[in-house]
Structure 1
Amino acid sequence: MKTLKQSIAAFSLTSALLFCATPAQAQNSDGFEDLIDGVSLNGWNIIGTANWVIGKGMVEGNKPNGFLVSTKNYQNFIIKAEFWAESNTNSGIFIRCQDPNKVNQYTCYEINIYDTRPEQAYATGAIVDVAKVDPVPKAGGRWNTMEITAKGSHFKVVLNGAVTVADAQDSRYQDGPIALQSAGGIVKFRKLQIKPL
């Protein structure tokens, strides 16, 4: 039979494990923190009229037009994202946003997810109005990885672990929230992690 002391110790350990297992707050062994947990929108605010579906370990945007905006600000970091988009999906990851209620390419840095963007130089992987892509990568219809590094005025975007699709300097915005966009078509994020630098 367990003593009271053993029972208290077991309860404390179980409570600690449950607390640490909260995905949206957990820091992984490599120093990355999960920003989405796939079961809730903890840590995010919704702006606009987009439809966001949470479940099966993913966040899906399937209706225009709006954003999920992080409740925290970030300055220097590496973001790792896994996303799926249709060829005509209009989406993106916005960083260092200056106004959490007014997210766009003029108030944030927009890393595009938009294969069929009319101005192809700023299609998927580009940082809109900062770094063009050439050739234009095609991400539609499959899962992709994107790694975004923002350190001071230097920005780099790597697609699918091998290809640097954008590398540029810009010093307009120093810090701010992160935003995920749903502006047409379907976009799914099954991983979004950040590591401060």
Structure 2
Amino acid sequence: MKSTLRLFLITLITLTLVYCSPPDQKESSDEGWVELFNGENLDGWKAVAGQATFEVVDGVIVGKAVADSPNTFLITEKEYGDFILELELKIEHLSSNSGIMARGQFDPAARDGNGLVFGYQIEADPSERAWSAGIYDEARRGWLYPLDLNPVAKSAFKMGEFNKYRIEAIGDEIKTWLNGVEVAYVVDDMDSQGFIGLQVHSIGNPEDAGRETSFRNIRIKTENLDPMPFSKDIFVVNNRLNDLTDYEVTKGWRLLFNGQDSEGWIGAYKETFPDFGWSVTDGVLTIAASDGAESTNAGDIVTEELFSAFDLAFDFKLTEGANSGVKYFVTLSEGNEGSAIGLEFQVLDDERHPDAKMGRDGNRTLASLYDLIKADKQPRFVKPPGEWNKGRVVVYPDNRVEHYLNGVKVVEYVRGSQEYRDLVAISKYKIWENFGEAPEGHILLQDHGDEVSFKNIKIKTLN
């Protein structure tokens, strides 16, 4: 009887020690994961920046929207550097856009002392846009990884169900998964540590007050991290300076500009690189301002190599009122004066350069297929002169072509299609036979007499 009682007391003490551990320290049994939410209360968390409410209901954190409130965040009291985070999130109404802050930041003095949350946010987007698990820079730079860059992942989010998110923030790399689907990959070093946060978004319609966003099974791992490799070919938004991740290299990406010199580039219609006008400084390739005229000073530069089907990405920065362009399928065979002829991703200050109002229906504006197709873009996705924008041109083996600006697709067409040829027939290019239909050509950076800079120029050949 005594031995039975002794065994009972030992068992009771052991269970008490296990289940009374502090909620922010209790480890799950699965390889070092730590539970961030104890399933009972909000110990270790605090609400900031808005008036939405959070409560625990049946082991779930339930956030409720409040009218006339900005975005509200439930954030951890502890900050984290490198980590792998997993949680489940449920949205039951289209008004309940949400997100997960990863290495989030908080300025309590902002907004007249009401506080402001900013930093990396992993999106929960129930709208038709469907950018869930894309990466947004809350209250700072805006979208870093819209799901136009990975459209097959748009169907991963399930409305009215718990969705499992996995977020890896290791070094300067952030990767996301949603319900097992590989979604986003960003390389960025703006924040190396910060809090984990759960968002209840502001609402535009007071009738949506009380709408719920739910979170559960929140766990984090901060030691002995074993990154999960992406198995699919996911586009990487890489903000390192003229550098590629190992993943990009394995997927066939390479730099077209090495950040140090003009290797791989020559002047258009020339045998060498221009000895004035173009310069490389601190990893940035810049064409100096001259008279604002087209290719009358240093002249355009082109790749020595020819390309057919490819994925080309580049960063560019305009000065006020500047004009330039990135051309492709440049053959250098037309013998024309001025800039070499080719299909052009327009690089332009739409607000200040007169070319934006020329052409037809805006088809000479930023990111347009110059003089042919207007870029379908929103002002919020355009960075002003003095800031870096991200351009991308994808030419598929079947002649489908896409233009992207800051991760958003703004132009799509098919080279050689009847629709394309009809556009050429009413453009400035109508005088050149089979314009833009060459099987291969050079990539060109244009000298239009204005100061424009480029960096992070990378390309991948498509088969």
TM-score, shorter chain, exceeding 0.5: yes
Contact 1:103 1:179 in 2 (8 A): no
Q: Which residue of 1 aligns with 2:35?
A: 34
Tell me the distance in 2 between the aligned counterparts of 1:39 and 1:33: 16
Given candidates 141, 147, 157, the residue that maps to 1:133 is 147
- 1:145 maps to a residue whose letter is K
Q: Which residue of 1 aligns with 2:217?
A: 191
- What is the CA deviation profile of residues 166-194 of structure 1, one whole-angstrom value per residue up to 9, with x for unaligned ones? 11111100001111011154211121110
Secondary structure in 2 matching 1:130: strand
Q: Deviation at 1:13?
A: 2.9
Within 5 Å, which residues of 2 pair with 1:118-129?
A: 120=129, 123-128=131-136, 129=143
Contact 2:85 2:167 in 1 (8 A): yes
Given candidates 38, 53, 57, the residue that maps to 1:55 is 57
Q: Deviation at 1:23?
A: 4.9
Q: Which residue of 2 aligns with 1:112?
A: 123
Contact 1:80 1:148 in 2 (8 A): yes
Given candidates 69, 76, 84, the residue that maps to 2:82 is 76
Tell me the distance in 2 between the aligned counterparts of 1:14 and 1:125: 38
Q: Which residue of 2 aligns with 1:43?
A: 44
Bigger drift between 71-80 and 131-140 goes to: 131-140
Q: Deviation at 1:35?
A: 0.9
Q: Deviation at 1:8?
A: 7.3
1:13 aligns with 2:14: yes
- What is the CA deviation profile of residues 49-94 of structure 1, one whole-angstrom value per residue up to 9, with x for unaligned ones? 0111212010011214411110100011111111111251211100
Q: Deviation at 1:26?
A: 1.4
Secondary structure in 1 matching 2:104: coil
Given candidates 60, 83, 106, the residue that maps to 1:99 is 106
Bigger drift between 184-193 and 142-151 goes to: 184-193
**CA, structure 1 residues 8+140, in 2 after alignment: closer, same or farther (shift >3 Å)?**
closer
Contact 1:87 1:139 in 2 (8 A): no
- 1:186 maps to a residue whose letter is E
- Gaps spanning 5+ residues in structure 1: where? none
**CA, structure 1 residues 11+146, in 2 after alignment: closer, same or farther (shift >3 Å)?**
closer
**CA, structure 1 residues 36+11, in 2 after alignment: closer, same or farther (shift >3 Å)?**
closer
CA RMSD of aligned residues (A): 2.5
Q: Deviation at 1:18?
A: 3.2
Tell me the distance in 2 between the aligned counterparts of 1:51 and 1:35: 19
Contact 2:91 2:126 in 1 (8 A): no
Bigger drift between 51-60 and 138-147 goes to: 138-147
**CA, structure 1 residues 24+131, in 2 after alignment: closer, same or farther (shift >3 Å)?**
same
Secondary structure in 1 matching 2:146: coil
- 1:34 maps to a residue whose letter is E
- 1:79 maps to a residue whose letter is L
Q: Which residue of 1 aligns with 2:194?
A: 176
**CA, structure 1 residues 14+143, in 2 after alignment: closer, same or farther (shift >3 Å)?**
closer
- 1:130 maps to a residue whose letter is L
Give the number of equivalent residue pairs: 189
Q: Deviation at 1:130?
A: 1.8
- 2:121 maps to a residue whose letter is E
Contact 1:91 1:181 in 2 (8 A): yes
* TM-score normalised by L of structure 2: 0.38
Tell me the distance in 1 between the aligned counterparts of 2:93 and 2:165: 16
Tell me the distance in 1 between the aligned counterparts of 2:105 and 2:98: 19
* TM-score normalised by L of structure 1: 0.84
Contact 1:95 1:178 in 2 (8 A): yes
Contact 1:74 1:177 in 2 (8 A): yes
- What is the CA deviation profile of residues 119-138 of structure 1, one whole-angstrom value per residue up to 9, with x for unaligned ones? x48x2111012222132234
Identity score, percent = 31
Contact 1:87 1:114 in 2 (8 A): no
Contact 1:24 1:34 in 2 (8 A): yes
Secondary structure in 2 matching 1:72: coil
- What is the CA deviation profile of residues 100-152 of structure 1, one whole-angstrom value per residue up to 9, with x for unaligned ones? 64454xx31010112228xx48x211101222213223432222111000001
Tell me the distance in 1 between the aligned counterparts of 2:107 and 2:2: 52
Q: Deviation at 1:38?
A: 2.3
**CA, structure 1 residues 9+100, in 2 after alignment: closer, same or farther (shift >3 Å)?**
farther
Tell me the distance in 1 between the aligned counterparts of 2:9 and 2:64: 47
- 1:143 maps to a residue whose letter is F
1:157 aligns with 2:168: no
